[in-house]
């Protein structure tokens, strides 16, 4: 092969090689760019889907979240003049707040200076009502019938409870049993030297003029702390601050206060509010 032919052949081979390299580079760049674009698109889609799901969840939560609705007293047949008189009476006493709910909506609110709808008030003995509601729910989900009759017919209620075998590790399982509360009554008697009834009479019932309170005992003379107290409705009412419920009027009224005087003021206010409802 002549020198010129060899040179020409090498030149052609070099050009072909360069073309192949160029094609490889172009293909590689195009493929990577397509892959990156696809990956970015997928990531964006995933992000968008996640954001959309979060937005939907937030919207759903907002739709499902229950909040108090407000309306005017007049729209629920409540005499506004009578309510103004109630407010004027509250002005004269250390009552901090009043809220009236009628037909499921708030129709009237009253707050002394320094308080509003976000203020936190201690429930004091009204907490007992909250606890009793929770207890009622618990009773619906547990059962003590397996040992109730056996416990009540035993010669010694306290010993019967203490002699029971531990069915599960303490603090892991809830089981409703009135005998546990009776143990508290026995502990009070052991610690104070007085029955739960006598101790309560000295420090609770007599100071509140709760004259109707009675309490049965077990065979050993221990006050029946879980099941034995009885009293009339007037004495029961002395255990609250005040939350009034009038189902027939679909009416709920709440008072919070630091007032330690006669409870008759709350009944007066409540009567005025009930009378203001023009059914």
Tell whether 52 and 105 lie within a shared domain: no
Tell whether 91 and 60 lie within a shared domain: no
107 within domain boundaries: yes
Quick one: pLDDT band at residue 43, thresholds 50, 70, 90?
low
C-alpha 98/C-alpha 116 separation (Å) is 10
The last residue of one of the domains, among 65, 84, 109, is: 65
SS3 call for 5 = helix
Predicted TM-score of the model (pTM): 0.47
136 within domain boundaries: no
Tens-place pLDDT, residues 203-230 = 878 887 878 788 889 999 998 888 887 7
Tens-place pLDDT, residues 79-123 = 999 999 999 999 999 998 888 889 989 899 898 999 888 887 776
Tell whether 72 and 50 lie within a shared domain: no
The last residue of one of the domains, among 33, 48, 65, is: 65
Tell whether 175 and 158 lie within a shared domain: yes
Tens-place pLDDT, residues 141-177 = 575 556 778 888 999 999 998 998 888 888 888 887 8
264 within domain boundaries: yes
Contact (Cβ atoms closer than 8 angstroms) between residue 254 and residue 246: no
The last residue of one of the domains, among 17, 34, 65, is: 65
**Domain range enclosing 56:** 1-65
pLDDT of residue 240: 46
Quick one: pLDDT band at residue 135, thresholds 50, 70, 90?
very low
Tell whether 210 and 267 lie within a shared domain: no
Tell whether 60 and 77 lie within a shared domain: no
Instruction: Determine how many CB atoms are found less than 10 A away from the CB of residue 197.
Output: 23
Tell whether 82 and 149 lie within a shared domain: no
Tell whether 153 and 228 lie within a shared domain: yes
Instruction: Spell out the SS3 assignment of 105-129.
Output: EEEEEEECCCCCCCCCCCCHHHHHH
Quick one: pLDDT band at residue 128, thresholds 50, 70, 90?
very low
Quick one: pLDDT band at residue 127, thresholds 50, 70, 90?
low
137 within domain boundaries: no
131 within domain boundaries: no
128 within domain boundaries: no
263 within domain boundaries: yes
105 within domain boundaries: yes
C-alpha 139/C-alpha 177 separation (Å) is 10
Tell whether 108 and 245 lie within a shared domain: yes
Q: By 3-state DSSP, what share of the chain in percent is helix, strand and coil, each rounded to 5? A: 55, 15, 30
Tell whether 155 and 200 lie within a shared domain: yes
- The domain tally of the chain equals 3
| Whether pLDDT at 2 is above 70 | no
Judge residue 256's burial from the number of C-beta atoms within 10 Å of its C-beta, 0-12 exposed, 13-18 middle, 19 or more buried. buried
**Angle of CA points 26, 29, 33, to nearest 5°:** 140
């Amino acid at each position: 092969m002549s020198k010129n032919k060899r040179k020409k052949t090498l030149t052609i081979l070099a050009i072909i090689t360069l073309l192949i390299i160029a094609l490889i580079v172009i293909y590689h760049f195009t493929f990577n760019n397509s892959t990156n674009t696809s990956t970015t698109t997928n990531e964006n889609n995933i992000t968008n889907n996640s954001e959309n799901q979060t937005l939907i969840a937030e919207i759903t939560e907002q739709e499902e979240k229950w909040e108090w609705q407000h309306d005017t007293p007049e729209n629920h047949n409540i005499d506004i003049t009578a309510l103004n008189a109630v407010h004027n009476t509250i002005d004269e006493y250390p009552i901090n707040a009043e809220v009236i709910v009628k037909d499921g909506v708030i129709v009237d609110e009253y707050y002394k200076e320094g308080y509003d709808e976000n203020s936190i008030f201690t429930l004091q003995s009204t907490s007992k009502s909250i606890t009793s509601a929770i207890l009622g729910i618990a009773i619906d989900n547990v059962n003590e019938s397996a040992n109730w009759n056996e416990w009540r017919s035993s010669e010694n209620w306290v010993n019967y409870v203490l002699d029971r075998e531990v069915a599960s590790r303490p603090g892991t399982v809830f089981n409703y049993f009135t005998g546990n509360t009776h143990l508290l009554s026995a502990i009070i008697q052991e610690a104070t030297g007085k029955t739960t009834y006598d101790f309560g009479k000295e420090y609770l019932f007599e100071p509140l003029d709760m004259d109707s309170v009675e309490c049965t005992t077990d065979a050993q003379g221990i006050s029946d702390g879980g099941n034995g107290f009885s009293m009339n409705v007037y004495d029961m009412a002395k255990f609250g601050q005040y939350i009034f419920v009038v189902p027939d009027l679909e009416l709920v009224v709440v008072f919070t206060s630091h007032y330690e005087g006669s409870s008759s003021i709350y009944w007066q206010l409540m009567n005025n509010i009930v009378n203001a409802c023009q059914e």
